[in-house]
Structure 1
Amino acid sequence: MGNYRIFNNVQKHITLNDVEKQYFESLLKVERIAKKELILKQGQICKKIYFVELGSLRAFNTNEDGKESTIMFAFQNWWITDMSCFVNQKQALLSIEALEDSQVVGLDGNALEALFDKIPKFERFFRILFQNAYIREQQRALHYISLTTEERYRKFINKYPGIADKVTQKQIASYLGVTPEFLSTVKRK
């Protein structure tokens, strides 16, 4: 059985015996991703949810004018996908890019359904995961409408220390919904 971080992540919420771990591992696909490589391209059918074993990624949308808006970052021990499109097996609204050389563990939709059937306690795990993601996004939306850009930037940096070493100012600005120039002004204050 591989020594993947994903097992520690799962066991924060459910306990697996050795047989369950082996079955779970049999469904996982390890992928190594080079910096700037896309594991999901906007417009493709979103077939997998990913767990970040090593490295960091970002999910972003590109509008018709070519402007990128970063929707989320995912660091080691985080999960990432285009959730709406993954659940509905639709064309992705997001692209997911490696911010550095990374390793992810992918789980496709059919494997996830098989996992739910064979080991029902995984439904509990993913329910908790999805609830936490929903809460995080709700808080982000509330911060966007109630805090200044400077306050949002400070909260972001405090929540993700060391992030500036992995992402560009342009990516942080797109996550915060401002221009890189405006973010520079905020950072100088």
Structure 2
Amino acid sequence: MEDFNKYTSHINYSPIVDFVLQQGKQTYYKKGDYFSRQGEVCKTMGFVSSGSFRYCCTNSVGENSIVGYTFDHSFVGNYPAFQLQNQSNVDIQALCDCSVYVINYQQMADFYDTNDAHQKLGRRIAETLLWEVYDRMISMYSLTPEERYLEIINRCPDLLKLITLKELASYLLIRPETLSRIRRKVVQK
């Protein structure tokens, strides 16, 4: 599911991936385990060697919304909260059994301090994550729910093998019934 998070195709992450695989601690998560919790300081980041995670936030009245996913061979963690050593604004939960190479803040800081190329990579990561969040926000205003659905299904045709329709509806900011109508309409075309 390499195309789910668009930022992964805009940067050569191999230096940081190699670092995390060499310096990180391999950690296993069972389905339902949390990588990090909303409201707690985000102390770790990781590289998912196998498995997938969902990012979920809970609002003030206790309603949950899916805000993101991470799949095999990509990073997991709340990068802004991790870099600022701040509280996470999302829960990150394993969707299945996962293997993750985990590093702490000091390890990441040491990596960035190694040389100018690593500093530049850190800046590019932040810029690219900002671009992806902004792009997703704009799509909520500029695309219809059907267009958002088609865009993600065309980009990630196997997505519904990994997540439920209810979760996809939450991610797209629509009701499950609306997603069902959209899917019926698309099939009829």
Which category describes the TM-score, using the shorter chain as reference length? 0.7 to 0.9
Please give the root-mean-square deviation of Cα atoms over the aligned residues, in Å. Answer: 2.3
In the superposition, the TM-score normalised over structure 1's length comes to 0.82
Unmatched segments (≥5 aa) in structure 2: 1-8
**Alpha-carbon shift at residue 134 of structure 1 (Å):** 2.0
Equivalent in the alignment of 2:107 = 111
Equivalent in the alignment of 2:12 = 12
**Are the aligned partners of 1:14 and 1:122 in contact in 2 as well (CA < 8 Å)?**
no
Cα distance change, pair 27–120 in 1 and its aligned pair in 2 (3 A)? farther
**Alpha-carbon shift at residue 115 of structure 1 (Å):** 1.5
Classify the secondary structure of the residue corresponding to 1:142.
helix
Equivalent in the alignment of 2:177 = 181
**Are the aligned partners of 1:61 and 1:70 in contact in 2 as well (CA < 8 Å)?**
yes
* Identity across the alignment (%): 28
Equivalent in the alignment of 1:97 = 93
Classify the secondary structure of the residue corresponding to 2:28.
strand
**Is 2:142 the counterpart of 1:167?**
no
Classify the secondary structure of the residue corresponding to 1:39.
strand
**Are the aligned partners of 2:165 and 2:176 in contact in 1 as well (CA < 8 Å)?**
yes
**Are the aligned partners of 2:51 and 2:98 in contact in 1 as well (CA < 8 Å)?**
yes
Whole-angstrom CA distance in 2 between matches of 1:120 and 1:34 = 38
Unmatched segments (≥5 aa) in structure 1: 1-8
- Code of the residue aligned with 2:167 in structure 1: it is Q
Whole-angstrom CA distance in 2 between matches of 1:162 and 1:74 = 14
In the superposition, the TM-score normalised over structure 2's length comes to 0.82
Residues 70-110 of structure 1: per-residue CA shift (max 9 Å, x gap): 12111122223223321221221100011121111222111
Classify the secondary structure of the residue corresponding to 2:42.
coil
Runs of 4+ with >4 A deviation: 13-16, 23-26
